[in-house]
Amino acid sequence: MDIVVVGLSHKTAPVEIREKVAFPPTGMEAPSRQLLELPAIVEAVIVSTCNRVELYAASRNPEAAIIELRKFLSDYHDLPFDSLSEHLYDFEGEEAIRHVLRVASSLDSMVVGEPQILGQIKTAYGYATEYKTAGLILNRFLHKAFSVAKRVRTETAIASSAVSVSFAAVELARKIFDSLEDKTVMLIGAGEMCELAARHFVNNGIGKVLVTNRTFARAEKLAAEFDGGVAVSFDNFREQLHRVDIVLSSTGAPDYVLSAKKVKEVIKARRHKSMFLIDIAVPRDIDPLANKIDGIYLYDVDDLQGVVQANLKERNKEAAKAEVIIDSEITQFQKWMATLEVKPTIVALRQKLDQVRKAELEKTFSNLSGLGDKERRAVEAMTNAIVNKILHHPTNVLKELQINGDGGLYIDAVRTLFDLPEPTDSQQHEADDT
């Protein structure tokens, strides 16, 4: 049995392709069940996010499974096979395992270290559990992926530094003020960047949010989205600045909305208590000369991008540590996978030889009617010992080879030579429990 992955992501397909291949959360049951109807697919999970669509499967014929999964994506979404295939990737065996562990650990994400993808895979697994499309292999595999992702976050600092402008602003604020709980932030402008940064501030415990905008209704609307948020008239927001610890400005105005002179007046009114000014507007909203005023910490968008780039370098260093963790986890999981093949084979081989032993005993006993119970038991014990001795060395060799990753060909050879049937899912479950 092998793990197989077929999919596409932000690295291989533009958004106009990804959106055509996406599966809506409310419609996962039908495609999940259809996957199990494919001849080569034993188990399946569908992962569908804005940045990737991937099909995870367990199969005894990975080459056929890849072809079937590629065709499934094309047929299900009514897309030309050849044009869609240009954007698809596929993995099997160790590379499939590595890929999924890297995805779950956010090493393959658009932003390395972002936490959303792990939750999205857990959601996908939840659907597969509900619709019973994940069995022994994918259950164990995805739980392994979850534990690896947790280990990566615990043992590395891959998610500890901000890699977005808005969150970098929050990180800097926490360094300046230690705690944000009793602080007030004012948003000058009510655009998307201001809103995103404000949400980061709120999630990190900011005390109060003030919003001002040239269109007061827009300020009111955004302020209402935060507990205790207050809209401030654009005409007199400068008179409110002495109450504010953090200013986040993004207006699109052609001239400065805050002069250095005004900032100097504000810091004096605050009795020189520190202020953090974040100017993410282009052209800039705040006179850069304000940064020379004692107690003022002014960062523009380039300053924040510099912080982001430095943090990205740190994340990449941590990603290298994560890759080492994944390598060790792959080895462990492959050893477990190996037992799924070797144990049922050994059990089937023992049963086959035991059937031959019993059949030959019956023939022998029918020709030796004078044997007593004691003699019959002795002969039976002897034949049983012979079978055990014959199986002892091959069994140990199969186990050792499989642990080292070289047992696949030998298992196939044993099954062919002794005409053993393919293991059923129930036999693999039994083997996993032994």
Mean pLDDT in residue range 13-25: 90
Mean pLDDT in residue range 336-353: 82
Mean pLDDT in residue range 117-143: 94
Strand ranges for 193-243 from DSSP E:
208-213, 230-233
Start-end ranges of CATH 3.40.50.720 in the chain?
165-302
Q: How many CB atoms lie within 10 A of CB 55?
A: 27
Mean pLDDT in residue range 381-397: 91
Residue 412 pLDDT greater than 70, yes or no: yes
Residue 168 pLDDT greater than 90, yes or no: no
How many distinct helices (H) and strands (E) make up the chain?
15, 10
Least confident of 106-110, 112-116, 345-349, 384-388: 112-116
Mean pLDDT in residue range 206-222: 93
Residue type at position 297: Y
> Contact at 8 Å (CB) between 176 and 274?
yes
Residue type at position 335: K
Q: What percent of the chain has pLDDT over 70?
A: 94
Q: Work out the pLDDT band at 417, boundaries 50, 70, 90.
A: confident
Residue 434 pLDDT greater than 50, yes or no: no
Global model pTM greater than 0.85: no
Question: What sign does the CA torsion over 222, 228, 232, 238 have?
Answer: negative
Phi, psi at residue 284, to the nearest 5°?
-65, 145
Name the burial class of residue 419, with classes exposed (0-12), middle (13-18) and buried (19+) by CB atoms within 10 angstroms of its CB. Answer: exposed
Per-residue pLDDT tens over the stretch 182-203? 999 999 988 777 888 888 888 8
Q: Work out the pLDDT band at 358, boundaries 50, 70, 90.
A: very high
Name the burial class of residue 365, with classes exposed (0-12), middle (13-18) and buried (19+) by CB atoms within 10 angstroms of its CB. Answer: middle
Which carries the bigger pLDDT value, residue 14 or residue 311? 14
Q: What percent of the chain has pLDDT over 90?
A: 56
Q: Work out the pLDDT band at 241, boundaries 50, 70, 90.
A: very high
The Cα–Cα gap between 87 and 103 comes to 18
Q: Work out the pLDDT band at 432, boundaries 50, 70, 90.
A: low
Strand ranges for 78-229 from DSSP E:
89-92, 184-188, 208-213
Give pLDDT, residue 405. Answer: 59
Strand ranges for 60-150 from DSSP E:
89-92
Mean pLDDT in residue range 283-296: 94
Residue 429 pLDDT greater than 70, yes or no: no
Residue among 379, 386, 384, 413 nearest 398 (CA): 413
Give pLDDT, residue 160. Answer: 66
Residue 107 pLDDT greater than 60, yes or no: yes
Which carries the bigger pLDDT value, residue 366 or residue 5? 5
Choosing from 30, 50, 310, 413, the catalytic residue is 50
Residue 10 pLDDT greater than 70, yes or no: yes
Which carries the bigger pLDDT value, residue 395 or residue 74? 74
Residue 222 pLDDT greater than 80, yes or no: yes
Mean pLDDT in residue range 260-283: 93
Give pLDDT, residue 397. Answer: 84
CATH code at 165-302: 3.40.50.720
Start-end ranges of CATH 3.30.460.30 in the chain?
2-160
Per-residue pLDDT tens over the stretch 60-84? 899 999 999 999 999 999 999 999 9
Give pLDDT, residue 402. Answer: 67
Q: Is 194 a catalytic residue?
A: no
Homologous superfamily of 2-160: Glutamyl-tRNA reductase, N-terminal domain (3.30.460.30)
Least confident of 32-36, 37-41, 248-252, 303-307: 303-307
Phi, psi at residue 298, to the nearest 5°?
-110, 125
With the CA atoms of 267, 271, 274 and 275 taken in that order, what torsion angle do they form, in degrees rounded to the nearest 10? Answer: -30
With the CA atoms of 131, 137, 139 and 145 taken in that order, what torsion angle do they form, in degrees rounded to the nearest 10? Answer: -130
Q: Work out the pLDDT band at 335, boundaries 50, 70, 90.
A: confident
Mean pLDDT in residue range 161-175: 76
Residue 228 pLDDT greater than 90, yes or no: no
Residue 49 pLDDT greater than 60, yes or no: yes
Mean pLDDT score of the chain:
88
The Cα–Cα gap between 105 and 151 comes to 9
Q: How many CB atoms lie within 10 A of CB 211?
A: 29
